[in-house]
Amino acid sequence: MKSSVFPFLRLLFPRTCVVCGDVLVEGERFLCSGCLGGLPLNEGMDEEADEEMRGDLGIENLYWLFRYDRGSDYHRLVHAVKYRSNRELGVWAGRMLGERMGNADGIDRVIPVPLHPKRERERGFNQAFLIGTGIAEVLGVRLESDRLKRVVNTPSQTGLERERRAGNVADAFRLENVEGLEGCHVLLVDDVITSGATVRACMAELCKIRGIRVSVACLGKSGGI
Ligand SMILES: [Zn+2]
């Protein structure tokens, strides 16, 4: 039954590339082969800026999948996960990032940047959780979403300048349960990293755990830091 209905539905509602909108062909998933091939993957082109950011945030490693700017069509990939409820895409992209994290040995836990419960209820999911799910699967480590809570429902960061973003999100997070996290190497996961304000606010909490080491992973990195 399913097999005879499926192609028919595909004809009515063809799957399209989340970046360019072209209809996908057999064997393509989420992105057409042109957009997948052109994805500006992290090939170490930002090493110096990343190093600076690592030092600034006090984190061990910074992993990101691809580079995007506001004008780039690739921002639609993040947008599709976040606002168009493309949950499978979130996990798939997380897996892709996990597979590219060559030196990720030693990471014990994956902790997604939480949404405020009210925001998560409205959206139905937390995009960082989906991405973290894909990464944790590849690394073979536990994903823990009950450690860090968002206690302030901050307005959207989009459109705010750097200083306002930092003030907006500072004190937004609280650690709930640190049992067993002492001395762990935690991977904090978010969808995008721009100013680093969210990571900084999470770090303020995570650093309260004795002997903790933190690395960060995100899908998109904006060039305009
Ligand atoms: Zn495309």
- 204 falls in which pLDDT band (50, 70, 90)? very high
Question: Longest C-alpha distance within the chain, in Å?
Answer: 57
- 39 falls in which pLDDT band (50, 70, 90)? very high
- 160 falls in which pLDDT band (50, 70, 90)? low
Distance 7 CA to ligand 1 centre (A): 21
How much is the average pLDDT of 43-52?
91
Any idea which of 90-99, 101-110, 114-123, 198-207 has the lowest mean pLDDT? 101-110
Distance 224 CA to ligand 1 centre (A): 24
Give the model's pLDDT for residue 131.
97
Distance CA 202, CA 181 (A): 15
Distance 213 CA to ligand 1 centre (A): 38
Distance 134 CA to ligand 1 centre (A): 22
Across the chain, mean pLDDT equals 89
Distance 138 CA to ligand 1 centre (A): 26
Distance 74 CA to ligand 1 centre (A): 10
Distance CA 141, CA 108 (A): 6
Distance CA 91, CA 62 (A): 19
Cβ atoms 108, 186 nearer than 8 A: yes
* pTM higher than the cut 0.85: yes
Each residue's pLDDT tens digit, 54-112: 999 999 999 999 998 778 899 999 989 888 778 899 999 999 999 999 878 799 999 99
Which of 4 and 143 is assigned the larger pLDDT? 143
Of all residues in the chain, the percent with pLDDT exceeding 70 is 87
Give CA angle at 58 (54, 62), nearest 5°. Answer: 35
Distance 34 CA to ligand 1 centre (A): 6
Q: Helix or strand or coil: residue 139?
A: helix
Give the model's pLDDT for residue 165.
60
Distance CA 104, CA 159 (A): 33
Q: Is the per-residue pLDDT at 195 higher than 50?
A: yes
Distance 14 CA to ligand 1 centre (A): 14
